[in-house]
Amino acid sequence: MLMSRWLIALCGLGLMGTAWAAPAPGFQDSEGCLLCHKYPRMARITEDGVLRSYYILPEVFARTVHRNVPCRDCHTEINELPHKPVKTGVTCNTECHSVKNPATGKPFSHKPIVEAYRESVHGRGKLATGTDADKPYCITCHTNPLYNPAELAPPKQIIDRCVLCHEDRNFVTRWYNHTSRRIREVRRTPEQIVALCSTCHDDQRMIERHQQKAKAEGRELGRKFPIAVESYEESFHGKLVKYGFGAAANCLDCHADTVNYYKSVHEIRPSRDPASPVHKDRRVETCKRCHTYADQNYAQLDPHPSSKRGHNTLRYFAEMIYNIVGYVVITGLVGLSLFETFGRRRDGVGWRLIQGSSWWRKSKRGRDRIV
């Protein structure tokens, strides 16, 4: 009750001087949520001491894929205005009662994708507290600029043609943006996929939290988990992707299945799972996607090579010896060259290209002599 009064007071005081923000075109605030959420200072400090903003920008929301979805289709716990404090977050598995699936006529829902996600290594056992909060959720990827690029303006000649029958230009524009973006190939570039995966898998603080928790619980994480990004960048695939070769394997090319790629990217499984494309029994099949003649021996190659002593002792010492020998040989050759140069210069020998030799000086007998 106290919170409700606080919200009313906040809206009423309003942040005086703030003008009324009318809903942007394409966004109809039929439920009156902007009565309060239109104010830039609509925020509070949570019990954990975190400042949370509840300000909604209508002109921004009007350009999102959810612009036609009423607020309460997602915020299902709200049933009165002003509403009580919200204690549960939005989940993407709720049904959109106001949006129908045009193919089935049923309420639209992301439930199939959410169920697949829950079975994945990212979704199983996800909680709001502890290290499970580090695991990605829908908005981790789908609000990322890499996976949510701005929609291009539709070609005028196409819209003009469609309007002849469909008449409503706004309707045609919305549907063109919605369908054309999905009909086109929506896979991101290898560089973008690697960059997105790296936001978590290259976060050293997050990795340390998971290692400490696993140690306290007496279990082991995957051997490559702490060095997933680093080892990929050392690999042949990683170097090709870095230099722009689009056909090289990125994270999803190996860890996602090809039966239904767009569903599989939501249900990435650990390498110990027999259903995982990188499980030891499926590696040959996975490698053959690109390397047609791959066999069991080929599949034994490490796709995440590491030169660290704790991960590959043989490679660590081999690389160390190779580096030592290489540095000694190069340093020795450069040193001998400098020693020879100073010695010849001391004897009056000049650096020239004459008769196939680089060293030349005048002889004491008055004749040119090649040394």
pLDDT in tens, 63-79: 777 877 888 888 888 88
For residue 120, which amino acid is it?
Answer: S
| CB 278 within 8 Å of CB 255 | yes
Q: What is the DSSP string of 325-342?
A: HHHHHHHHHHHHHHHHHH
CA distances to 248, 265, 313 from 134, rounded to whole Å, are 29, 18, 31
26-62 pLDDT per residue, tens: 567 888 888 888 888 888 887 778 888 888 888 878 7
Least confident of 9-18, 179-188, 350-359: 9-18
The amino acid sitting at 256 is A
Mode of pairing for the β-strands spanning 368-370 and 357-362: antiparallel
Instruction: Give pLDDT tens digits for 311-367.
Output: 777 877 888 899 999 999 999 999 988 887 777 777 666 665 555 555 555 555 545
Share of the chain above pLDDT 70, in %: 80
Tokens read off for 228: 């997933």
Which pTM does this prediction carry?
Answer: 0.67
- The label of the residue with tokens 């539709």 reads 154
